Structure formats: structure tokens, C-alpha cells
Structure 1
Amino acid sequence: MNKKYFRKTTIDLKRDLIPVIIQDAKTDKVLMLGYMNQEAYQKSVHEKKVTFYSRSKKRLWTKGEISKNYLFIKDILMDCDEDTLLIKAEPAGPICHKGTDTCWKEVNKKNFLFYLEDLISSRIHQQKKNSYIFQLSKKGINKISQKLGEEAVELIIESKDNNKNLFLNESADLLFHYLILLHEKGFSIQDVINILEERHSKYES
């Protein structure tokens, strides 16, 4: 969870109803637009899931309360005029009630690294016996770390030559096995990105 989220729990909405832009925390794709009052905002913060105020139903409405396609909050930002919220969230499924990824019928394509993470997790949990990922996972953390070390050495060796193809392929092998190690340790590439972003923001400030 982005640490900034916990520092945004005291926002006092200046209006009875405020527009809220929902953005995918990983892809930056705009997913939908809704509205919140103070009660909806407080419920969203408490449950860490987006809750809107439905103007048609005249009540609070948690996105996914029927479909289970929740929007899990990662960050909340107020605009400069303090009359619009931007919520960065992780969608649990299609956003639109018509089954599309966004309310504008766009396909919310994941960065391939995030897709690869999901694939690694799927291969391990499904225990596919013919999967290299699953077989490596079965061997335990020591073997995974050893394999990552071997790939790192191979990359270093290739970096000393001028074969671009071999260098890039070894780079891909290293990154692939690093993602497996991250998964086995209970982390994701987003956790690493968050640390880099935090370091960058400290440096910039």
C-alpha cells in the first residue's frame, strides 16, 4: 500500500458532492468518474475500497458491491482547487457495468511486467507440472536465489562483449528470475517501484 494513502485520510470535502476520477494505479489508465460526499469518502478510506454517492439511487454505493469488481485504493489526491479527487486504485475486474475495462470502452492493457507477475503467480498456484516456473518454485528459495545469481553472472559476462542480442536476452533472463524471487518472498515489482519513487521524491525535494 502506498504510504501516501494513509496521510490522506483527513481530507475535508468543501462541497456536498465532489467529482472523483478513478485511475488505475499500475497502468495510469483513467477508469471511470463518480461522485463522493464526505460520508462516501470516509467509508472509502475506512474500507480501502472506493465508495461513491449514487445520484440516481440517492445513497452510498460501493463499486463492486454486487459484481465484486471492487476498486482497492492505493492513493488519494486532491486537486489544486480542492474540488476534485483523484483516486489511484487497483481494479478487481471490469469497471463498467457493461463489462468493459473502462467506462469509455477502452482496453486497460497492463504493463507486460505486471502481466508476467500475474502469469508467474498463476503457474505456481495452479501447480502446472510442465511449467518451468512451478518446478523452480518447488525447489525452494535457495535454488531460486542460486539461479538468479547464475543469471546475474551470465549478464555480467555478456556485458563485456558487443553482442547486443545475447546481452538483452541475458537481461531478460535476469529480470524474469528476479520476478520469481520477488513472488516467493511475498513482494511484487510495484513494491520496488514504490521505494524508487519515494527515493526520487526525496531527492527532488
Structure 2
Amino acid sequence: MSAYTLDDLARLVASRAGSAPDHSYTAKLLAGGPALAAKKLGEEAIEAVIAAVQGDRTALTNEAADVLYHLVVLLRAAGVELSAVMAELERRTAQGGLAEKASRPRA
């Protein structure tokens, strides 16, 4: 099992944020702002869904990695700290999933 974490990924994205966009894919995505990062996340999410529906575990593993990477890039582009997302997950998992979902305000 890998010891690589989402925090490690967030640190890597942060370290590449200041690179030249023509030398770093991460920097190129960040230079495009949240809209470009969101577009790429959406594309990768669709590819992950397709892989899951097709039962292709290898492709799903690869696409899931892409989804996580692009999500971390989007969070960085939007100025949202990964720690804030993790805190929200921790808050939500403090109670059962159905109870937590029922407690959310309706939009």
C-alpha cells in the first residue's frame, strides 16, 4: 500500500504552481484559472465513470488518479485549502451518512 497522500499531492501542486506554464502542466492549468481546472476535472470524472461502468479496474484506477490530481489543482486555482475539504469530510463522517445528508439545508 502506498504511503502517498492527498497532502503530498497538494504540496506537489503548490510547488509547481510557480513554474513556467510552458514547462509544467500544473502551472499551465493554474494559469488558466478555475475554469480550465474545472473543465479538466469534469473530463477526467466522465472518463472515470465510463471506466467504472465498463468494469475496467485498471482504467478506473488511472482515471481516479487523474480525478484526484485535477481536483487538487482546481482547489488550488479556486483558493480552497485541501485541509478545509478534509475538515468538512471529518465533520460529515461524525454521524451516519443518511443522518448527515438529511441534516443538510435544502437548496
The TM-score bracket by the shorter chain reads: 0.7 to 0.9
- Structure 2, gaps ≥5 residues long: 97-107
Do 2:21 and 2:31's aligned partners in 1 also have CA atoms closer than 8 Å? Answer: no
Q: Which residue of 2 aligns with 1:164?
A: 57
Letter in structure 1 aligned against 2:38: S
For 1:176, which of 69, 77, 90 is the aligned residue? Answer: 69
Q: CA deviation at 1:128?
A: 5.8
Give the 4+ runs in structure 1 shifted more than 6 A.
none
Runs of 5+ unmatched residues, structure 1: 1-109
Count of aligned residue pairs for this structure pair: 94
**Alignment partner, residue 125 of structure 1:** 18
The residue correspondences of 1:142-157 to structure 2 (distance < 5 A) are 142-157=35-50
Cα deviation, 1:70-111, whole Å, max 9, x if unaligned, reads xxxxxxxxxxxxxxxxxxxxxxxxxxxxxxxxxxxxxxxx85
Q: Distance in 1 between matches of 2:38 and 2:49?
A: 17
Task: Name which one, 1 or 2, has greater alpha-carbon Rg.
Answer: 1
Give, in whole Å, the separation in 2 of the partners of 1:136 and 1:185. Answer: 12
Question: Higher relative contact order by CA 8 Å / sep ≥ 6: 1 or 2?
Answer: 2
Write out per-residue CA displacement over residues 94-151 of structure 1, whole angstroms, 9 at most, x where no aligned residue: xxxxxxxxxxxxxxxx853211111111111243631110011112221111111111
- Contact map agreement 2:29 2:36 (CA 8 A) in 1: yes
> Aligned partners of 1:153, 1:200: CA distance in 2, in Å?
26
Structure holding more strand per residue: 1
- Structure having the higher helix fraction is 2
Q: How high is the TM-score relative to the length of structure 2?
A: 0.78
